[in-house]
Amino acid sequence: MPDDSLAEGVVARAEIAALAELFDRFEFTLDPLSREADEAESQFNDQIERLFESRVKPALPENSPVSLPVFRRHVCHLCREFLRKNRP
C-alpha cells in the first residue's frame, strides 16, 4: 500500500503479531502442502479480508487504488518485517 500510515492505523501491532504467526506457518514451512500450512493460510486470508472489509474499505476515498489484494500484499510485507525484527 502506498500509505503505510493507513495500514498501521487500522491494523494494531498485536494484530500484526498474530497475523505474522499465521504467515510464518504457511510462508516459511518445510511442507507447503501440509494441512497445517493450508489451515494457517486460510485463517490468515480470512482475517485479512475481515480487516479490509471492516476497517480499510470504509475509510477509503471513492476510486481508491487500494484493493483487497493490494492490502494483503502490504500486510504480508508488514508480517515479513515483523518476523525479521522479532525472530530469535
* Residues 15-61: tens digit of each pLDDT: 999 999 999 999 999 999 999 999 999 999 999 999 999 999 998 88
The whole-number pLDDT of residue 87 equals 83
pTM to 2 decimal places: 0.84
- The grid cell for 23 is 504467515
The whole-number pLDDT of residue 76 equals 97
Q: In the chain, at which residue ranges do the beta strands (DSSP E only) sit?
A: none
- The grid cell for 4 is 503505510
What is the DSSP secondary structure assignment for residue 62, as one 8-state letter?
T
